[in-house]
Amino acid sequence: MTQLQFLVPADPLEPRRPDPYFVAQVDALRHAGHRVGVVPDGVIDGQAPLSGVPSGAVVLYRGWMLNPAGYGHLGHAIRVAGAVPYISRAQYLATHHLPGWYPLIKDLTPETRIFSRDVDLESELRELAWPQFFVKDYVKSLKTGLGSFLNDPAHIHALLEQMESFRGEIEGGVCIRRVEPFVPDSERRYFVVAGVPYAAETDAPIPEAVHTCVKRLGSPFYSVDVALREDGIERVVEVGDGQVSDLVGAWTPRRLVEILESMAQWIYGSS
């Protein structure tokens, strides 16, 4: 029978142990009877093999965000071990990188323009003439320094330099998003597992915007963040690969494991 194997990042100081940040999730997974292994940094860097993964297993990662090269190294190591990644590299990037999901749900989310790093962004922003801009790369925005919101296009160069300094790179390119007025504290995260959407609370309703994402996005495991705009319209703020989406708001490790059971049942049922 096919086994489901979970992998989490290793503790940098104790490579045989899970990273402390993910210990609660590891405990919840093991309590539910799942196998959990660790991924040392050397595997992500393409410098070391992956050990402890049974041949023929289906492998799901739960850990830090990985750039395309890092995820490629992880997938290669999994396949060399004789196992199969549950999320392919193409599926990972389809929800991890904004250009993968934005064209499919552009009517549900703030208007966005995507640029390469080497274009004259100040001129592009002046041409857009939006009252305010939200700036990020394909994955994340700047949470420190100048932050992510920009009023004056002349500051775009300094913002991107800070992003490169704090994050080490600008992943993919630059995404400029139109700022919409959201109701404070209205943003909620939802996960979609094997085509089924879940909220953090078992009895919480699922927004229609999430149901629409289920119809249009093909990844087997991803997150959808939805906020309420001031005019009462639900808007998708972000989509992310489920393996690297944090447990925010009311999400707990126990609830995450509950929703992953449908994935486990599908894998075991199909073997």
Task: Dump pLDDT digits (tens) for 102-133.
Answer: 999 999 999 999 999 889 999 999 999 999 99
In a domain, 34, yes or no: yes
163 shares a domain with 57? no
Kindly state whether residues 100 and 119 are assigned to the same domain. no
- Give yes or no: residues 123 and 196 share one domain: no
CATH number at residue 220: 3.30.470.20
Give yes or no: residues 219 and 130 share one domain: no
Residue-wise pLDDT tens digits, 54-74: 999 999 999 999 999 999 999
pTM: 0.93
CB–CB of 146/159 below 8 Å? yes
**Domain limit, last residue, from 129, 154, 178:** 178
Residues 205 and 145 in one domain: no
Q: Which residues pair with 150 in a beta bridge?
A: 133
DSSP annotation of 3 reads P
Per-residue pLDDT at 1: 55
Q: Give the residue among 229, 256, 260, 225 at the shortest CA–CA distance from 239.
A: 225
CB 40 within 8 A of CB 10: yes
CA dihedral 225, 237, 227, 130 (to 10 degrees): 170
Q: At what angle do helices 23-31 and 253-270 cross, to 10 degrees?
A: 50
Both 128 and 24 in a single domain? no
Same domain, yes or no: 136 and 197: no
Instruction: Give the domain extent around 144.
Output: 112-178
Residue 256 and residue 200 in contact, taking contact as beta carbons nearer than 8 Å: no
Average pLDDT, the chain: 93
Is residue 136 domain-resident?
A: yes
The predicted pLDDT at position 264 comes to 67
Q: Total domain count for the chain?
A: 3
